[in-house]
Structure 1
């Protein structure tokens, strides 16, 4: 009996620590019910946590209880099964659709989490993601989260990465690279890497990568091109692409419009409480920009360029005709 209790103590301490990491005060009786032990056992477990350096504070009285307070060194984050699955599914969904604002840090977090998840939880995460579908997808191509995590792990571990790559013209090739950084542009993920066969720096669209494989061979990091990975990507992606200036006035607050427009189009400038202006440089097709403006869910006036104005007029005529034909 004693052996069984001793074997259960570490598990119970982790469960107790997980509960205490919730920002609230836990009555001793509620903790005892949650853990299936006596209040005396809860007190002993709290003392064990304190001995391990966890700052658990106790308050006396009928309404007293326990809570974890901020200290010089907080304990590692402890998650129960449901919390770990929820976080992994959320990170996978965000990483798989290059959502603006979901940066490389999210992929690193997903990589670390999936490395420590037990097999039974990894199975639950995969099953839940397969069984669900987002109502709205991003503008970029969908990417398997496993592709991102393999790349992120190889970059973090300075490990050579081999993969199959499909170029823009459909040509396929095998690449052996030294991966350095994953960069999100909001619509797509890119890998900045040194191509060993071509002996030069390259950028790769991750949605065109297949069968990424970390070879296990380590490499000594080279000095990144001037400006860093993000600047190198910007110059590589936009090299030779024609750009044009856009100028649009919206009859809505700046915060409302900014939440609906990609930041790559430019900054939204307030013109008053219920009016704002967007001026910037676009490299996407005028058709794509026209669609993004049309789904802003507010009235707007486009001032240029001429090709965008023409596209909006043609789109308006087609949509009006389509609505009339349905009557």
Structure 2
């Protein structure tokens, strides 16, 4: 930022020696250290989209000077006109949900307000299948910070039905599936890439003693999705999910209904009643019955049996609650189905 301020404040071209004298952080560095830091700072500004113009002093009629001059013009610095496609606007709405509840939540919300003021359609994202609360948890932003710092961490992890364990992990990435979020990284004790559900990490993260930020490398081209079975070319090549089971659920869906489930799943033909068969690959089953109930009688679970029974039990519980209230109105899942036209 000091380099940015110095170049924006200058009138005309500025050479390296002038910058070194003007910026406090550069003054006490050796020549080699200054060269490295100056190069890193220029690259950092360019990554932010701020171009730095460079010229040889001979180009501006100062013969005899072998150094280069630098400047940031208004054209280099000004933000270009923003013209978002509908898809880009939708992604920005998702991003705002991502930062909601974190230290950057207010800034993200203000940015969307400003874009709306320019006439961009940035409606709140409520698309089925898009996690609305996963990104808002402190655990998610904390895990993301460990990944960005390449910080080897230790934490307490509790798998279902097991005693809590201390884990030592080099974080590679953070990934979400349905309404669950996971830290993906290399488990030092098990010498394998593992996934850890964030809701099962107790007490947050601590830096592993004797390690420093950035002292390990994430494998080139690593994709956190690839270590979940059935999600990429690397599926099954050593990746393990801690305490998670992938379940394939087969649904029968009435024609023209439950479009979100169709988009999420895979078509598998039709049944004898003319309903479309769709398979879903599901990690977290505990919220699935309530999610399917929104579509009412348009959706029936065919397999596996324990998911079918859980779905039926959920619908029965809804009917019982309505009966206890003494009402004869349709079940709420049927009302939802009619209102959404599914």
**TM-score, length-scaled by structure 1:** 0.47
**TM-score, length-scaled by structure 2:** 0.46
